[in-house]
Amino acid sequence: MKNIILIGSGNVATHLGIALKNEGYNILQVWSMQVDNAKFLADKLDCKFTNSLDDLVKADLYIASVKDDKIEEVISNFQNVNIVHTSGSIGLKVFKSFTNCGVFYPLQTFNKSVDIAFSEIPLCIEANNPKFEKVLLKIGESLSNTVVKMNSEQRKQLHIAAVFACNFSNHMFAIADDILRKSNINFNLLHPLISKTIKQIEKNSPKNVQTGPAKRNDKKIIESHLQFLEKNQQELYKLITNSIISNND
Amino acid sequence: MKNIILIGSGNVATHLGIALKNEGYNILQVWSMQVDNAKFLADKLDCKFTNSLDDLVKADLYIASVKDDKIEEVISNFQNVNIVHTSGSIGLKVFKSFTNCGVFYPLQTFNKSVDIAFSEIPLCIEANNPKFEKVLLKIGESLSNTVVKMNSEQRKQLHIAAVFACNFSNHMFAIADDILRKSNINFNLLHPLISKTIKQIEKNSPKNVQTGPAKRNDKKIIESHLQFLEKNQQELYKLITNSIISNND
């Protein structure tokens, strides 16, 4: 299964395409609705490009890396091919009637501009039959050190967990940054503390290393913090604090 | 100012005491209300210990590292000494009438069990006069690579920011862990994604690297996530999502 066509030219398609090419797979074509985007990625992969699904040639595997709300529509243009999508949120059901279909989900937030060691990105694999699953696992293992089988239900939970662990924690950093800016303090000062927070959860369950006023249920400090916050931040502070308190054993 | 007495034997006193001793300061005594705790730290520092404030000898500097709600009471037992506390939340006002008093606040969450390179911990210094400030800065610079002057107001803001950046982000990890456990997925799978999230904010403002369904205002995914969450997690998800959306330019 060496000849691959990329349906999509966004961040996932870009990083996956480069990783596949580096491992010796032939990327035959890149498709994108926007021909310029298709060309941009195709130039990197040294392959052909098109914005017409009718122009696609035969390939061993079609990888649909388009926005979640476009997957069903894009897939409906294919039949009798081996096909996967790369979404954490969309199940296997979207495929309807393919002999070989599956999901090839890299658990990472990609930016086109940030270099990533693809080998360190966990890949979550699902397929509609054991044989195709084996094929996808093999491709996955050629790209990443961490390849796990995961059904659609688990993948959905993983995606929700990632929203909390990454998107929401990043928003906590953004609020901290906002608070510090207003007091003319450099956010960099918090880096060692943030690094430590992350280091601790490498070997401990996050719940077991929780610290802070909420963990101690230190009402005096909590009240004094609330006085300093803007309304929106105040509501967040209260709700998260209460959640930590109710999480105490 | 070489001869120091530690008032307190908790995590901050322990790490600070060890760092001071390593830099050649003489720790004369450790005081704690619990004599066993005082002895435990004194043994590490090879010094005397007591649980009676009356037993304290003369020293160049007294460092009060006790719980926030005990600082005022403890300090009221001293007069005519050079004294600092180590709290991020308590201001200089707590000292009332000392010639030389200040704050020596290490911006880190300490566990007794986790080894820490003290030199990487930012120290925030405040004093009631420029001469004593200079003394404290000098001690700070012998212990840490990052020493900043910071008034009580700024320190309070920094502490609130740290609660968001560390305590609250850790709670986001705890919720992710909880969600994954229920689906029989190992939390470790999220480590690369979390590391990337942290790596990104080393060089970018957190707001500028925000990703996820809330950032995209992807209502379909947001709704589908909410269906899977427990009530408490649902409320957090909604409020944080709305906060991210309102933070979009």
Assess whether A171 and A131 both reside in one domain: no
**pLDDT tens digits for range A33-48:** 999 999 999 999 999 9
Residue that is last in its domain, among B100, B124, B150: B150
Could you tell me the pLDDT band of residue B88, with boundaries at 50, 70 and 90? confident
A-interface mutation test, from B112, B173, B242, most A Cβ less than 10 A away: B173
For residue A16, give its domain range. Answer: 3-150
Shared domain check, B90 and B48: yes
Query: Do A180 and A75 reside in the same domain of the chain?
Result: no
Output the pLDDT for position B110.
Answer: 74
pLDDT, position A175: 98
Distance CA A119, CA A44 (A): 19
Q: Are residues B169 and B134 in the same domain?
A: no
Report the distance separating Cα B55 and Cα B61, nearest Å: 16
A114 CB within 8 Å of a chain B CB: yes
The first and second tokens of residue B12, run together, are 């901050």
Tokens representing A33 are 């609705």
- Judge whether A14 and A44 are in contact, CB under 8 Å: yes
Q: Are residues A128 and A160 in the same domain?
A: no
CA distance A191 to A180: 13
The pLDDT value recorded for residue A44 is 96
State pLDDT tens for residues A88-119: 889 999 998 899 999 999 998 776 666 778 99
Q: Is the pLDDT of residue A187 over 90?
A: yes
Shared domain check, A205 and A136: no
**In 10 A of CB B145, how many CB atoms?**
13
Inter-chain contacts counted by CB atoms under 8 A, chains A and B: 300
A201–B194 CB contact, under 8 Å:
yes
The amino acid at A166: C
Residue A149: left if φ>0, alpha if ψ -120 to 50, beta else—which one?
A: beta
Residues 6+ apart with CB under 8 A from A232: B243, B246
Query: B114 falls in which pLDDT band (50, 70, 90)?
Result: low
**pLDDT over 80 (residue A204):** yes
Q: Where are the beta strands (DSSP E) in A87-235?
A: 101-106, 123-127, 147-149
The terminus-to-terminus CA distance of chain B in angstroms comes to 52
Contact B77, B21 (CB under 8 A): no
* Domain final residue pick, A150, A182, A203: A150
Last residue of a domain, one of B150, B176, B203: B150
C-alpha torsion sign, points B243, B246, B248, B249: negative
Whether residues A141 and A40 fall in one domain: yes
Name, in order, each residue with C-beta under 8 angstroms of A72's C-beta and a sequence gap of 6 or more. Answer: A94
CATH of the domain at B192: 1.10.1040.20
How high is the mean pLDDT of chain B? 94
Coil, helix or strand at residue B136: helix
Please indicate, yes or no, whether residues A142 and A177 belong to a single structural domain of this protein: no
Closest-CA residue of A relative to B163 is A212
Q: For residue B221, what is the nearest residue in chain A, using CA coordinates? A: A89
pLDDT in tens, B210-228: 999 999 999 988 999 999 9
The answer to whether B93 touches B124, Cβ cutoff 8 Å, is no
What confidence score (pLDDT) does residue B19 get?
96
pTM comes to 0.83
> Residue B248 — pLDDT band, cuts 50, 70, 90?
confident
CATH number for A114: 3.40.50.720
The H or E element containing residue B42 is: helix B35-45
- The mean pLDDT of chain A is 94
Tokens of A35: 């021909």
Residues B28 and B139 in one domain: yes
Q: What is the pLDDT of residue A116?
A: 75
Q: Give the C-alpha separation, B59 to B13, whole Å.
A: 16
Say yes or no: A171 and A240 in one domain.
yes
pLDDT-derived band of residue B112, with 50, 70 and 90 as boundaries? low
A193 → chain B, closest CA residue: B108
Residue among B196, B218, B240 minimizing CB distance to A171: B240
* A25 torsion bin: left (phi>0), alpha (psi -120 to 50), beta (else): beta
B126 DSSP β-pair partners: B103
- Total domain count for chain A? 2
- The per-residue pLDDT for A112 is 62
Task: Say if residue B209 is exposed, middle or buried (CB neighbours under 10 Å; 0-12, 13-18, 19+).
Answer: buried
Claim to verify: residue A162 and residue A193 sit in the same structural domain: yes
What HEC string does B156-174 produce?
Answer: HHHHHHHHHHHHHHHHHHH
Provide the chain B residues 28-67 that lie in CB contact (below 8 A) with chain A: none
pLDDT tens for residues B122-147? 999 999 999 999 999 999 999 999 99
Using the Cβ of B246 and the Cβ atoms of chain A, whether some distance falls under 8 Å is answered with: yes
The string of pLDDT tens digits covering residues A143-152 is 999 999 999 9
The rounded distance, in Å, linking the Cα atoms of A138 and A125 is 10
Q: Are residues A133 and A160 in the same domain?
A: no
* Three-state SS sequence of B76-130: CCCCCCCEEECCCCCCHHHHCCCCCEEEEEECCCCCCCCCCCHHHCCEEEEECCH
Which pLDDT belongs to residue B89?
83
Between CA B32 and CA B19 the distance in angstroms is 19
Give the SS3 label for residue A50. Answer: strand
